[in-house]
């Protein structure tokens, strides 16, 4: 499968256009002044991220050449490297930063990807452990224990979910209890000074347990109704994700109400605490976690909880990794209207990013671009701007959805495409054969899921 290397500006109400970019294209500040860096000389991912940012800073620091006593820079527009953090977080819908993928934006994507990956490394899946389905470490030690001591964030709260689903015949009842899903963190003083604002971060892991997988397959749309004064029944989201976000479970050792209540209370507290500073709210998640991040972003904006007590609106940005669709077109339009910025990092070979709505999605709601079809309210729609990766391993098909594979792909994207030798061309032909076989398998799987979606739509329409 191939990604279209283009960036389109999507106006509200134009559901069928998606901004997409193949992230392995050469990185450049502009067509005339490329800024590249080599990953071969760095020893870890953090150095790679720092190298990208440093390269841009050094480029900015070089005095412009002068001609006749005048700075030539005064005659040309500033390069995109001079962008602000607001632009990197989508203030201008990432115009000029996605094609080609800007080094600062790529570094920011990788940084938040690593903060999400910390959730997986810290999650305890040993049934014999006292911390089974919880975090292995205390809040103060968690980031350090997973190798991210220098991340510059302090964890303030752990988040738990309790999916309102049960396995058939009462099997696996332990899977129905609450479990740790992620954390809330706030930038330290030093990190806030470096970033230029106090960043409030919420990080979510993806699907791991049985009941979470069941929640993923509850693909019927349900009204969100987050604002009791304005329920907006036409704004609908996937019922499984909504269940994870809103279900209560007070029986757990660490549980304090629904995931939603935990998050709204903690974020409101942090906003009030840092009201005299510049603040940003960043929500990041992988797979199912990206769906929760998007629901939270919409919820905060719908309730107006991103209003700064001293005036102004706190920007909300969602970094989604391998995320599925979450809601219908009305949900997408409302997110756009509220100013929730979403950057979706997807692998074009990842079937999860095509779900739900394999058949009934943005492209299936109107006929001939004019006539709205009866099932349009049941059609899913992606939200935000898309950065498309393209990778797979025939021997390890699961890697197409693996978060670490996403991060590694962002880090190792080559800046050059060397001329292929005869042996290299033969290897590419063999690789192409593997790609076709994998694509064929995915295609068969998608048609099966399309049949399931068709059945659900017929049920929704009382057919």
pLDDT digits (tens, 9 = 90+) for 214-253: 666 666 899 999 999 999 999 999 998 998 999 887 666 6
With H, G, I as helix, E, B as strand and everything else as coil, classify residue 385: strand
Higher pLDDT, residue 31 or 91: 91
Rounded mean pLDDT, 33-48: 37
Which string of DSSP letters, residue by residue, matches 217-276? T---EEE----TTS--TT-EEEHHHHHHHH----SSSS--S-HHHHHHHHHHHHHHHTTT
The predicted structure's pLDDT at residue 13: 44
Higher pLDDT, residue 76 or 364: 364
Q: Is the pLDDT score of 96 beyond 50?
A: yes
Q: Is the pLDDT score of 21 beyond 70?
A: no
Instruction: List phi, psi (to 5°) of 297.
Output: -60, -45
Q: Is the pLDDT score of 132 beyond 60?
A: yes
Q: Is the pLDDT score of 450 beyond 80?
A: no
- Name the residue among 130, 149, 153, 108 with its Cα closest to residue 343: 108
The predicted structure's pLDDT at residue 438: 46
Rounded mean pLDDT, 11-40: 40
Higher pLDDT, residue 230 or 376: 230
Interval 413-440: pLDDT, tens: 644 333 333 444 444 445 555 555 444 4
Q: Is the pLDDT score of 301 beyond 90?
A: yes
Interval 248-290: pLDDT, tens: 876 666 666 899 999 999 999 999 999 999 999 999 999 999 9
Q: Extract the tokens encoding 244.
A: 């994870």
With H, G, I as helix, E, B as strand and everything else as coil, classify residue 344: strand
The predicted structure's pLDDT at residue 262: 95
Q: Which domains does the chain have, with CATH numbers?
A: 45-68+76-422 (3.40.50.1820)
The predicted structure's pLDDT at residue 40: 32
Q: What is the dihedral of CA 274, 278, 281, 282, to 10 degrees?
A: -120
Task: Give the pLDDT band of residue 309 (cuts 50, 70, 90).
Answer: confident
Rounded mean pLDDT, 116-120: 97
Angle at 301 between CA 299 and CA 11, to 5 degrees: 110
The predicted structure's pLDDT at residue 19: 53
Which residues are known catalytic residues? 287, 350, 401
The predicted structure's pLDDT at residue 440: 47
Instruction: List phi, psi (to 5°) of 254.
Output: -110, 0
Q: Extract the tokens encoding 183.
A: 């954390």
């Amino acid at each position: 499968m191939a990604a279209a290397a283009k960036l389109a500006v999507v106006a509200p109400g134009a559901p069928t256009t998606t901004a997409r970019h193949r992230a392995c294209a050469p990185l450049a500040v502009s067509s005339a002044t490329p800024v590249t860096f080599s990953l071969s000389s760095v020893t870890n991912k953090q150095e790679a991220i720092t190298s990208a940012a440093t390269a841009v800073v050094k480029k900015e620091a070089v005095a412009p050449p002068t001609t006749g006593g005048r700075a030539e820079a005064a005659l040309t527009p500033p390069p995109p490297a001079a962008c602000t953090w607001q632009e990197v977080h989508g203030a201008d819908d990432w115009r000029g930063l996605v094609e080609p993928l800007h080094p600062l934006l790529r570094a920011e994507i990788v940084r938040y990807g690593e903060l999400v990956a910390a959730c997986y490394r810290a999650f305890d899946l040993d049934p014999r452990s006292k911390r089974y389905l919880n975090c292995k470490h205390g809040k103060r030690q968690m980031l350090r224990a997973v190798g991210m001591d220098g991340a510059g964030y302090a964890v303030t709260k752990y988040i738990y979910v309790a999916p309102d689903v049960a396995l058939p015949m009462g099997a696996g009842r332990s899977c129905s209890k609450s479990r740790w899903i992620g954390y809330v963190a706030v930038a330290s003083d030093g990190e806030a000074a470096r970033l230029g604002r106090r960043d409030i971060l919420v990080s979510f892991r993806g699907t791991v347990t049985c009941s979470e997988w069941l929640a993923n397959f509850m693909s019927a749309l349900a009204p969100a109704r987050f604002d009791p004064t304005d329920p907006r029944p036409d704004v609908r989201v996937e019922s499984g994700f909504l269940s994870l976000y809103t279900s209560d479970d007070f029986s757990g050792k660490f549980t304090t109400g629904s995931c939603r209540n935990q998050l709204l209370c903690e974020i409101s507290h942090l906003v009030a605490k840092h009201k005299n500073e510049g603040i940003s709210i960043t929500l990041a998640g992988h797979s199912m976690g990206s769906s929760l991040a998007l629901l939270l972003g919409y919820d905060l904006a719908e309730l107006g909880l991103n209003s700064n007590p001293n005036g102004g609106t706190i920007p909300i940005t969602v970094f989604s990794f391998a995320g599925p669709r979450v809601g219908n077109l009305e949900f997408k339009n409302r997110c756009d209207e509220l100013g929730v910025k979403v950057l979706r990092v997807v692998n074009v070979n990842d079937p999860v990013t095509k779900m739900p709505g394999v058949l009934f999605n943005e492209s299936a709601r109107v006929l001939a671009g004019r006539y709205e079809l009866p099932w349009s309210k049941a059609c899913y729609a992606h939200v935000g701007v898309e950065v498309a990766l393209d990778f797979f391993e025939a021997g390890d098909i699961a890697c197409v959805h693996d978060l670490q594979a996403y991060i590694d792909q962002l880090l190792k994207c080559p800046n050059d495409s060397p001329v292929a030798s005869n042996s290299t061309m033969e290897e590419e032909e063999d690789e192409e054969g593997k790609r076709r076989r994998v694509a064929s398998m995915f295609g068969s799987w998608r048609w099966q899921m399309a049949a399931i979606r068709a059945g659900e739509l017929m049920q929704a329409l009382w057919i």
